[in-house]
Amino acid sequence: MKKILKLLSIVIMLTVATIYTMPTKVMAFGPSSDEIYNGIDVSGYQGNIDFGKVKKDGIQVVYIRSSEGTNYIDSKFEQNYKRARDAGLKIGFYHYVTARSVNQAEKEAQFFASVISGKVADCRLAMDFESFGNLNKKEINTIGLAFMKKLEELTKKEVVLYSNAYTASRIWEGEVTNYPLWIAQYEVNKPENSGTWKSWAGWQYTDVGRVAGISNHVDRDKFTKEIFMSEGTQIPDTEKPKPDEEDDKTTTKKIKIKWGDTLSQLAIKYNTTVAELVRLNNIQNPNLIYAGNYLIVPVKGENTSNTTIYTVKSGDTLSEIAQMFNTTVSKIAQENNIQNVNLIYPRPKASCK
């Protein structure tokens, strides 16, 4: 999900007034064991996968997306699980978290547990919480911890946190850091971390990998022994969460798609998820929507503000700021008329939109 930042000399004005901690010194850290396992993580975006060919290509572990939010099950979940199991691969499951409160987080954990009920998992259950909307640092940690604790309570299984390097070093703290880390960082020889975690259980090192048996790009990973559960057993049965009365009152409206719109941008604006927009509109290809067409969006929780304040500090780079606000360097440069993306200056004050 992307946002556009506008820089006017020193401070960036964006949609939310969320302040994160200042960048800290970053250092490389290593795997939690000497033995490394080659892995991938997949979802419906990879289409039909020949896991027999995947295994022959040297892949040992596969993480399968099962679900998102409280009502979306990945379109290829059942197929991917069966085929990966038949191929003899080690299997893990991950859930994409969209919660904005502790109650929602616990319901998502219950939904995740219900979706994977009866399945056999070899690897720790993974929380993928990376799109934070208007949440502040404390809220992010509270929600993430609530999800993982509830998941452990329901499944009696071990959990791992998936996170990009920037968020791992600057956002996650406290009890959350007691969980093993599956870190995502590309185009580096070793992943980097500020020191909260001493080692990694998993490292997603590219999102444009190629593996036999998969026609599209796929995330490639390296895993250590720590990624495996102490006992690879069946996930116990869990009932699906009951919808809150508030959830039942959520209404929808139609909007006209404008040129340049993307589902990820619209999901941010209307405080929802890409998966929910796909479900509401029966979209076959989430990467393809057309200007002039109409889209059904939820009315509840619309985010109409477009500003956040961020002060450019000594040592900041556009790439770090882009990661922080889920946008790209090119968009920041375009909106702020930056001629040299490698050169920004700290000042006492500035504004952007």
CA distance 35 to 37: 7
Check residues 176 and 340 and name the one with the higher pLDDT: 176
**CA-CA-CA-CA torsion for 272, 275, 277, 283, nearest 10 degrees?**
170
Please list the alpha-helical segments (H only) found in the chain: 51-56, 77-86, 102-115, 137-155, 165-170, 245-248, 263-269, 274-281, 318-324, 329-336
* Beta bridge pairs of residue 202: 182, 223
| The pLDDT of residue 2 | 37
Which residue, 195, 136, 131, 137, is CA-closest to 163?
A: 131
* H/E run at residue 176: none
| The pLDDT of residue 332 | 72
Which residue, 93, 338, 26, is CA-closest to 238?
A: 93
CA distance 60 to 40: 8
| pLDDT tens per residue, range 12-63 | 344 333 334 444 455 568 999 999 999 999 999 899 999 999 999 999 999 9
What average pLDDT does the chain have?
A: 83
Of the chain, the percentage scoring pLDDT greater than 70 comes to 77
Check residues 314 and 193 and name the one with the higher pLDDT: 193
Lowest-confidence segment of 27-31, 190-194, 343-347 by average pLDDT = 343-347
Q: What is the mean pLDDT of residues 211-220?
A: 97
Check residues 137 and 345 and name the one with the higher pLDDT: 137
**DSSP states of 55-79:** HHTT--EEEEEEEETTTEE-TTHHH
Predicted TM-score of the model (pTM):
0.70
Q: Is the pLDDT of residue 345 over 80?
A: no
Check residues 157 and 296 and name the one with the higher pLDDT: 157
What's the DSSP call for residue 313?
-
What's the DSSP call for residue 120?
B
| The pLDDT of residue 312 | 66
Q: Is the pLDDT of residue 278 over 80?
A: yes
| The pLDDT of residue 327 | 65
Cα–Cα–Cα angle for 115, 118, 121, rounded to 5 degrees: 90
Please say whether the beta carbons of 1 and 340 come within 8 A: no
Catalytic (active-site) positions: 41, 130
| pLDDT tens per residue, range 221-251 | 999 999 999 876 899 999 999 876 555 455 7
Residue-range domains of the chain with CATH = 25-227 (3.20.20.80), 250-298 (3.10.350.10)
Lowest-confidence segment of 95-109, 207-221, 332-346 by average pLDDT = 332-346
CA distance 202 to 181: 7
